[in-house]
Amino acid sequence: MNNEIGTRYDPQNIETKWYKYWLENDYFTPRNDGPKYSIVIPPPNITGKIHMGHALNITLQDILVRFKRMQGYKTLWIPGEDHAGIATQTAVEKFLETKGKKREELGREKFLEIVWDWANTYRNTIKKQIMAIGASVDWSRERFTLDDGLSKAVRKVFVSLYKKGLIYKGKYIVNWCPRCKTVLSDEEVEYHEHDGKLYFIKYPFVDGNGEIIIATTRPETMLGDTAVAVHPSDERYKHLIGKEVILPLVGRKIKIIGDVHADPKFGTGALKVTPAHDPNDYQIGRRHNLEFINIFTEDMIVNENGGKYQGLDRYEARKAVVEDLEKEGYLMKIEDIKHSVGHCYRCDTVIEPMLMDQWFVSMKPLAKRAIKAVEEGEVKFYPTRWKKVYLNWMYEIRDWCISRQLWWGHRIPIWYCQDCGHINVSETEIEKCEKCGSKHLKQDEDVLDTWFSSALWPFSTLGWPEKTEDLKIFYPTDVLVTGFDIIFFWVARMIMMGYEFMDEKPFKDVYIHQLVRDKYGRKMSKSLGNGIDPIEIIDKYGADPMRFTLALMAAQGRDINLDINYIDNNKKFANKIWNATRFVILNLDDYKEVPLDNLKLADRWILSRTQKTIKNVTKAIENYEFNIAAKAIYNFFWDELCDWYIESVKPRLKTEERHLVQNVLVKVLDTSLKLLHPFMPFITEELWQKLPVASESITISKWPEYEETLIDNNAENHFNLLIAIIRGIRNVKAEINIPQSKKVNITINNEISDEDKLYIKFLANVDNISISDSKPEKSANAYIDSDIEVYVELGDLIDINSEIERLTKKIEKLERDAEKFRKKLSNKKFLEGAPEEIVNETKEKLKNIEEKINKIKLLVDSLK
């Protein structure tokens, strides 16, 4: 045992050292013969640094993996990164723009070389950041969504689904991002409220007898109108169904049709129908066999179908169309309106619904089993409310557009024969047409949606489609830890693909973790400048305080409002762990193992409390109640072990009892560091190595087992009573300004043991303990219950009357403070508008003040 220990906790000196040690000894590879436990990491995108949400996600997974490893499970935690098609290509294009270059100028091959360099650089950066957090992932099994094995899996899945008729190509309305030049799935479109305009436009009847007025937010799209729709039961218009109108500015004759999608309450109740540029109009167009007229190029420039407006971008066209409508007398009025507008989730550009040929996956057949699995509890969500969110989306699931007009990603494994037109689909590169033998083949230019490859992550990372040993042992995985924002992007699709290709669920549990917000409850963003960089936090405070803070705040169903001060507080907790362990180590000079016999009250108390803490922490981690587990070990270590047990045994370390006390301290400290290890891996390894019971590494040590024989409720109740008495004496001293270091005399109305007296005298700094049935003159109540009364004898230590006057004024001030908080909490605007964290903090402050008022009132009463 190397019991040399520094005087202060210095995370920078221990974290790199121990992570290197763990890697060198392969502690993160599966090594036990017990039951298996596996997790796949949600792969970070290779578009930049990890953020605090990643830090939370990684911390919670690492707690589970380290916990299970110590419990003897054969654990595997697979790391990896996602190629992030749109995001990465966009980032690289922006980088090239700063160099005055465009990807089209470079060509596909050269551009992809540059992106691969980018990917390798950022993958390495992300890996270092994950290591800095302390993640015990098996780096020997690191995967990337574009590596050879995963690419093979992607092609196999595509071909399989295609041959089953579940992948098809069709011309449908899709979400088009003109900035990224690609299609987006419905889930990749983010909707924001906009201040817009509602334009009321006259469409004159062909027979010249009047007009119908429509209302639209996008007048430029009228260039592609092929009908006007009204609700079939709308009394104002149903007699007009079948009548023709002239499309203003264009002159095209179009019909008035009856369709239930027309909302009588919106605008005028009459709807212009542009089937090629609106998803709802597209459905109307299909139902009524309307013409589909596309009026935009992929750059959102009006094309040849836009007549005189050809060459204008969509916003220029809007302005020109509105001016011409007004000039020619078609524009009735314009109203201000707030409406929801779709944006690209990556570049924030307003998307355009476009009619395009794209590849789709038919989702309803795949969804059936994935719905049943969650309904019947085969796959469970934590917190449970996410089950309903998942199911609601799955019941209404629409086909998934999987083609993307990008160069970076998995190229669609389709080859078109230029001679016979046959579509060839293959898992491997092909040189000739399977139908006519022609070598004139052209591969589809598009790539697959990034989420297509990540949907296979739980089994592709384990080696599928090969029948690997890892796949046999570790699939299905045990839990997925992820954020709520990708339940539809990723979680649902993994469940569907797991059942389709493995005939089994991909994971048993889905833990949806919290969103990390700033201290005011605002979402962290670049625009607000309120982001917190986890690596900067680690450099300043250490990984352990950051990890412990995130775990402590990870209450199920509640977002985390993160204040840097909380991390600073847990740096103090790390210092407490360090100093307490240092005290024990420095008092183990002549340590030898002895049986835990002839235990004193404090020994029995701490050993019993240790067992209950083992039980509480174990149960909480198993239930994904990370905050409850962290709070349990925090309270035990700081309050019970440090503040009470260690303080109580200091005198005994100088007596013949020292070996017994040393053994109790080592046992409890060994257990405490192990319970803390999943949360704070670095400091616990550093300190545990210095204990006389340490072996190879705390990482592979045995998780503490609950020992029923050490539970002693009588000892707990008795010692807790002594704690209450000692606190009462200390409180009296504090309230009437007697230094804690000054000895006082006390009176107790019942006989107590000599051992009890020793604890009270040492821990409360008491000189003499008198036994008497009556309360002494000039004394203050320290503790009173039905069995025992304890008084602090004040004598000439204070002027009683002056002290009563001072305390009365203090009560009055506290009452004024309390009243401010009561008013705040009775204010409906505050309760509804303030972040939940602030409201709870205000309630806690009021509670603390009221408790303080009651204590001082009791003290004043006793002085009187």
pLDDT digits (tens, 9 = 90+) for 426-458: 999 999 999 999 999 999 999 999 999 999 999
Q: Which two tokens stand for residue 795?
A: 């004598």
pLDDT tens-digit map of 702-749: 999 999 999 999 999 999 999 999 999 999 888 888 889 999 999 999
Superfamily in which the 182-353 domain is placed by CATH: Valyl/Leucyl/Isoleucyl-tRNA synthetase, editing domain (3.90.740.10)
Which one, of 277, 66, 142, lies nearest residue 702 by Cα?
Answer: 66
pLDDT tens-digit map of 194-239: 889 999 999 999 998 999 999 999 999 999 999 999 999 999 998 9
CATH code, residues 12-158+451-513: 3.40.50.620
Residue 517 has pLDDT above 90, yes or no: no
Task: For tokens 């409890």, name the residue.
Answer: 668
Lowest mean per-residue pLDDT among 2-6, 107-111, 189-193, 250-254: 2-6
Every domain of the chain with CATH number 3.40.50.620 lies at: 12-158+451-513
- In the chain, the N- to C-terminal Cα span, in Å, equals 59
At residue 170, the 3 state secondary structure works out as: strand
Residue 580 has pLDDT above 50, yes or no: yes
* Contact yes or no for 153/456 (Cβ under 8 A): yes
Most confident of 60-74, 166-180, 344-358, 799-813: 60-74
| 469 vs 483: CA distance, rounded Å | 30
Kindly state the average pLDDT of the residues 685-712.
96
Q: Catalogue the long-range contacts made by 747-756 (C-beta closer than 8 Å, 24 or more residues apart).
A: 747/771, 747/772, 747/775, 747/776, 747/779, 747/790, 747/791, 747/793, 748/772, 748/788, 748/789, 748/790, 748/791, 749/773, 749/788, 749/789, 749/790, 750/787, 750/788, 750/789, 755/600, 755/601, 756/601, 756/722
What pLDDT score does 421 carry?
A: 92
Nearest 5°: the CA angle 607, 68, 493 is 145
State the pTM of this model.
0.85
At residue 846, the 3 state secondary structure works out as: helix
- Residue 852 assigned as binding residue: no
| 273 vs 227: CA distance, rounded Å | 5
- Edge-to-edge order in the sheet of strand 380-382: 380-382, 507-513, 477-483
What pLDDT score does 3 carry?
A: 65
Kindly state the average pLDDT of the residues 780-799.
83
* Contact yes or no for 349/177 (Cβ under 8 A): yes
What pLDDT score does 798 carry?
A: 67
What pLDDT score does 801 carry?
A: 73
**Per-chain mean pLDDT for the chain:** 92
Every domain of the chain with CATH number 3.90.740.10 lies at: 182-353
Q: Which two tokens stand for residue 248?
A: 């203003």
Every domain of the chain with CATH number 1.10.730.10 lies at: 565-695
What kind of architecture, by CATH, is found in domain 565-695?
Answer: Orthogonal Bundle (1.10)
